[in-house]
């Protein structure tokens, strides 16, 4: 084959490649302004492309501060765990004795105006005591505990005294709390105090640095801690003529994280 024929063959091959590429890239009905897609196998990075990036958020100048609000109030309700413990060589005897005493205890509590809704069983245990040397059960211990919800704290001392007089020999402790209405109000007051705390910090910073707050980007709650104290109690305390109960105060703490927009 001479040089003229070789040149003609090369031109024919190049023309075929160009024609095939044009046919692959062509999409019928493609109008001006429509998206152009590169042929399969040709990466878009080889062609021209543009992209829009929203950088408005990165242009914002912000000041992040936290504010804490704490509000306290006296507890207005409480729960107390009251129980009966019995032990006997026979399980049935220990159970029957425990049941009789607990019936008297509950009756004494209800006599003060409490209802079934105020009294809830929280544990009932029958526990065998072993003599490991003799390898046999020597007795059975029965413990029945109920929790009494006291909405009127003036009745807390009397309910303990009445239960002890009726046969209760286990009083595990008193937990003070807040009613839902009071707890919600304290939480809202704590939010207001947290906002005021953050604003006072922001005023000091902006005044001394010569910057201005133009808005708030975000607010998030970091923590909410209702504090509930627990007080121990023993049946020996119920031996007095009247059991004094000092409820003390409870606190609600809220922490807010605020991001201010500044200029």
Residue 244 scores a pLDDT above 60: yes
CATH no. for 77-177: 3.30.70.2970
Question: pLDDT digit string (tens) for 180-201?
Answer: 899 899 999 999 999 999 999 9
Residues 6+ apart with CB under 8 A from 60: 217, 261
The architecture in CATH of the region 61-73+181-228+249-262 reads: 2-Layer Sandwich (3.30)
226 class by beta-carbon count within 10 Å (0-12 exposed, 13-18 middle, 19+ buried): middle
Q: Between the CA of residue 33 and those of 24, 30, 40, 144, what are the distances in Å?
A: 19, 9, 21, 83
Residue 152 scores a pLDDT above 70: yes
Structure tokens at 193: 């105090």
Question: pLDDT digit string (tens) for 42-59?
Answer: 344 433 333 333 435 567
Domain positions in the chain? 3-51, 61-73+181-228+249-262, 77-177
Question: pLDDT digit string (tens) for 123-139?
Answer: 999 999 999 988 899 99
Question: pLDDT digit string (tens) for 219-239?
Answer: 999 777 666 666 655 555 554
Q: Which of 220, 211, 192 is nearest to 65 (CA)?
A: 220
Residues in the chain: 263
CA 261 remoteness from chain centre: 29
Contact (Cβ atoms closer than 8 angstroms) between residue 187 and residue 254: yes
Contact (Cβ atoms closer than 8 angstroms) between residue 233 and residue 171: yes
Q: Which of 252, 113, 127 is nearest to 194 (CA)?
A: 252
Given CA atoms 179, 185, 187, 190 in this order, what sign does their dihedral have? negative
In 3-state terms, what secondary structure has residue 168? Answer: coil
């Amino acid at each position: 084959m001479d040089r003229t024929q070789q040149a003609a063959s090369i031109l024919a091959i190049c023309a075929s490649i160009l024609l095939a590429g044009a046919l692959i890239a062509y999409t019928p009905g493609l109008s001006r302004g429509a998206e152009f897609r590169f042929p399969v196998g040709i990466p878009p990075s080889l062609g021209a492309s543009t992209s829009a990036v929203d950088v408005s958020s990165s242009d914002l100048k912000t000041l992040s501060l936290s504010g804490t609000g704490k509000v306290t109030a006296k507890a207005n309700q409480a729960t107390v765990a009251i129980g009966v413990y019995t032990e006997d060589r026979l399980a049935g005897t220990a159970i029957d004795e425990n049941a009789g005493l607990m019936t008297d205890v509950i009756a004494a509590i209800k006599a003060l105006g409490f209802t079934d809704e105020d009294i809830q069983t929280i544990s009932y245990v029958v526990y065998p005591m072993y003599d490991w040397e003799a390898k046999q059960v020597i007795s059975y211990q029965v413990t029945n505990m109920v929790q009494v919800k006291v909405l009127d704290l003036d009745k807390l001392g009397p309910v303990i005294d009445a239960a002890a007089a009726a046969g209760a020999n286990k009083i595990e402790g008193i937990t003070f709390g807040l009613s839902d209405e009071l707890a919600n109000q304290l939480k809202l007051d704590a939010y207001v105090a947290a906002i005021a705390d953050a604003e006072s910090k922001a005023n000091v910073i902006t005044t001394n640095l010569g910057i201005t707050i133009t808005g708030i980007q975000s607010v998030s709650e970091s923590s909410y801690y209702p504090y509930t104290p627990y007080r121990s109690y023993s049946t020996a305390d119920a031996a007095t003529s009247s059991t004094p109960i000092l409820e003390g105060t409870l606190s609600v703490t809220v922490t807010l994280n605020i991001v201010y927009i500044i200029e």
